[in-house]
Structure 1
Amino acid sequence: MNIELAEYDDAWPGLYERERARILAVLPDADLEHVGSTSVPGLCAKPVIDMMLVVEDAADEEYVPALEAAGYRVTVREDDWHDHRILKGPDTNVNLHVFSRGCAQVRRHLVFRDWLRADSGDRELYARAKRELAAREWERVQDYAAAKGEVVLEILERAYMTWRPSSGEVEYVTKTPPHDAPVVLEDYNPVWPRWYAVEEARIRAALGDVVVRLEHVGSTSIPGLAAKPLIDVLLVVPDSADEDAYVPALVEAGYWLLLRERGWHEHRLLKRSEPNVNLHVISPACEEWDRMVGFRDRLRTHPEDRAEYERTKRALAGRTWHRVQDYAEAKAAVVERIILRALA
């Protein structure tokens, strides 16, 4: 199979706008974006208009009948990959990608597009890689797409590190003034999953049906990885900003509210000291679920990534940090790299 690339065509944005109007006629509140190479002025591309539709739940397909009425048809269902759906357009070569709100793939597509629009060096790097790969013979177009993965990840890593979302102002409910904080790592301890199991039972008993999702994340959730002896728990509740719905019950169970980050997904952090627990609370449509769980699962299944992360942690742990957050920030590049691999 030959991959045919076309030079950038000024008609592509107009084709997107025409399809956008067609979809908005049947889904007036649709959240749509032009993504992929045809959305980047000056970039060569296969002449396929990639569009992204963000819905509340891609898997339930409530949106499909309306799109079928507009001439679209479902061609791909990936229930094991973010419930991703692809629909084809009626009379233009269109791929309409559908993701659920809060899926980390949404920001991944937008960050990649916006970075290539803004950075001429990486835009040209990507174009060269595409041309070199398009000159080869491919059994499937998916193989060509997979072969681009290395350069895509290289570009995305730069983009994510430059355009990382700010957490905004952190409101400390319990004061923890900055202090020189040595980071002490311990070799993996098989007792850590048991500590998590006790905390899971405690949280579920306290909150009942308020628990939407609950997972052990962070380094203590990864067998074989050195870590601070700190159990990170990720809790999803219906609305993390509605503290009355869950904070009093967790306080009764022995936690205390440490901080609020209203500008960063309405994240709340609660603590327990015996054992040392960080309880992160988010709402359902929050990409941090995909990112934190994806990071954990990648490290559990890819020893080379686990070794890379441990080397980084041990090198940084030898320093003294003004704040533990500074240690976490110093790890950010390798963390983002591994998350991007998990999301690929």
Structure 2
Amino acid sequence: MLFAAATAHAAGPPERSRPVKELIREAEAAVARLDIARARELWVEVYEIERSNVAMCTMGQLDARMGRWAEAMVELSQCVDQMPAPRTKQERSLYERRHADLARARTRVGEMVLVPAPGVVGMLVNGRGVKHGSSRVYVPPGQHEVTAVGEDGQVARTSVKVEAGESKPVPLTLDKPTLAPEDRAQAPPGPRAPGPAAPKGPPQGAARPGPDLRIVTTGAMGSVGFLVTGVMCLQSAQGYALEAKAAWARAGEGGPVRSMPPLGYNEMVDTAATGKLMSFLGTGSLIVGAAAGAATLVYVWWPNDTEIRLAAHGAEVRVRW
């Protein structure tokens, strides 16, 4: 059994507390039903309570069973480092099995040996911080990003590819060398080269006035209003056209003057004329609304510090974004 050997190795430590015993019993039941992830969660709780090497070794074995080789490598390394020298045949067998587990995990991961330069105060591998003082990081085979952070805020990144079973040193250097705080205080100021002439106009990066909100609001509301009015007029025009067509159909093939009374004929003519007027108004409203919307967008996106100058060959436009 996975935990029988661990228990044998733990011979000698003080009696476990009742909560720890219950957690171990539940973890063994999880392993029996092949719920390895749940079993590892329970052993993590055990380790948080008693911080025993038995719990660390067991977590390493469970991570290896789930294929989490980078985590298993870290846990099994700590497990083997803290195992005492074997005194009995049973302890020697357990000792050899743990070393075999560690050797198997080592063939499944790559090892990066981080070598930070002076001034590096933080390191990250794939966006995850490396524990201070740690130099060996185990990762799955493949491409990985290593980031170094300097004491003055400098950031340097490098991409490293490692193979399974490979150990690769990764030197971490910053773009600019940094001095210790006491060295920077004692360093004499060097001569300063004359800087470039200040450019005319507003300083670079200075905030420029944005578009007038009232103009933008008025333009947007006007555009929407004209567009809605245009749509409503076109719908109304369509209704008048259908009404005039129905009146013409009721008049018969003889024509409106011969088969319809004068009053009916006048209503049909008025209906058709009203429909044409509504169609004209609708089309005009759509054009005005679209023009107002386009003008508003141009006002919003057009640079506020655009310069337009007249030249001999025409107009010269200068835009600073």
TM range (shorter): under 0.3
Report the TM-score when normalising by structure 1.
0.19
The structure having more radius of gyration, on CA atoms, is 2
Could you say which structure has the greater relative contact order, defined with CA pairs below 8 angstroms and 6 or more residues apart? 1
Relative to the length of structure 2, the TM-score reads 0.21
